[in-house]
Amino acid sequence: MSLVFAAIAPHGGIAIAEACEPHEVAVAAKTRHGMETLGRLFDEARPEVVIVATPHNVHVDGALGVIVSSRVSGQLAGSPSIALDLPTDTDLAWRVLAEWHVAGIPSVAVSFGGNDPTSAVAPMDWGVLIPLWFMGGRAQPETPIVVVTPSRDLPPDAHSRAGAAIAQAAEASGRRVALIASADHGHAHAADGPYGFDPRAKVYDELVCDIVRSDELNRLDGVDPELVEGAKADSWWQMLMLRGAVDGRMNGELITYEAPTYFGMLTAAYRPL
């Protein structure tokens, strides 16, 4: 048992039809189709646990994070009916952390609220909730999860090595594991967006699409950090983790890409060789 499925999935709320205002329903129709496709492929792979790498949970200076609280719970802002409350696979969470320590990657265990992690409940951010809305989050019985966080203070190779360690932890766990890189891309596609307009957003997104379409995630290692910063991208670090995890183990397929508002949204699936 090891990684049986992986994905790059966006986390914009417009991907969920139930979260949209009437005028928004058609805005990200292509992305919604991509998410539904990911959901079908996820179900076909029959994962027993899902690891989600999110950029919107805890931010630890100079270290990756693993949530070790017993559960993770949250709702989408403005849409109280879009809510999930899921158990953490704490055994796999601690395995991931142990593998990161063995690999010499700065990393910490993170809990929240109650002093005893075995009864604590950590907040679920939208970077976790939205992909899981389509992939395992509403399954019965509940699909346990592991939430991991990147660190923009660490170099690219630390994230790709972290991904390789995730794959090793998955194999050692004896479970069927899925890995989701929760990722929105350039955030500077529109002058009226919160980050303004920068042509590097399109350049970055086109590069990412080419990398994913050609199934050459190793090229992520050479992406210029200044391009990432100029594009206001929210994806490079999580994709590097996925790159390390799937390298030599899985084939990838670009399903959809669009930038219907100020940020880019891409769906891609990875399945074992």
Three-state DSSP class for residue 211? helix
Are the CB atoms for 7 and 47 separated by under 8 Å? no
Q: What span, in angstroms and rounded, lies between the C-alpha atoms of 33 and 21? A: 18
Are the CB atoms for 180 and 241 separated by under 8 Å? no
pLDDT in tens, 5-37: 999 999 999 999 888 888 888 899 999 999 999
pLDDT of residue 174: 94
pLDDT in tens, 66-114: 999 999 999 999 898 999 999 999 999 999 999 999 999 999 999 999 9
Are the CB atoms for 234 and 126 separated by under 8 Å? no
Q: How many distinct structural domains can be found in the chain?
A: 1
Q: Which of 110, 203, 176, 193 is nearest to 149 (CA)?
A: 110
How far is CA 211 from each of CA 139, 174, 200, 243, 250, rounded to the nearest angstrom?
Answer: 32, 31, 16, 11, 15
- Cross-strand partners of 51: 146, 179
pLDDT in tens, 192-205: 999 999 999 999 99
pLDDT of residue 188: 98
Three-state DSSP class for residue 65? strand
Are the CB atoms for 269 and 44 separated by under 8 Å? no
Three-state DSSP class for residue 9? strand
pLDDT of residue 22: 85
Domain ranges, residue 157: 3-272
pLDDT in tens, 134-170: 999 999 999 999 999 999 999 999 999 999 999 999 9
pLDDT in tens, 221-270: 999 999 999 999 999 999 999 999 999 999 999 999 999 999 999 999 99
pLDDT in tens, 47-72: 999 999 999 999 999 999 999 999 99
Cis peptide before 156 (omega within 30 of 0): no
Show Cβ contacts of residue 71 under 8 Å, excluding neighbours closer than 6 positions: 85, 86, 87, 88, 120, 121, 122
Show Cβ contacts of residue 215 under 8 Å, excluding neighbours closer than 6 positions: 251, 252, 253
Q: Is the pLDDT of residue 173 over 90?
A: yes
Place of tokens 């955030």: 187
Strand order in the sheet with 49-53: 107-110, 64-67, 145-149, 49-53, 177-182, 3-9, 265-272, 250-258
Q: Is the pLDDT of residue 1 over 70?
A: no
Are the CB atoms for 38 and 267 separated by under 8 Å? yes
- List the CATH number of the domain containing 96: 3.40.830.10
pLDDT of residue 21: 85
Q: What span, in angstroms and rounded, lies between the C-alpha atoms of 182 and 131? A: 7
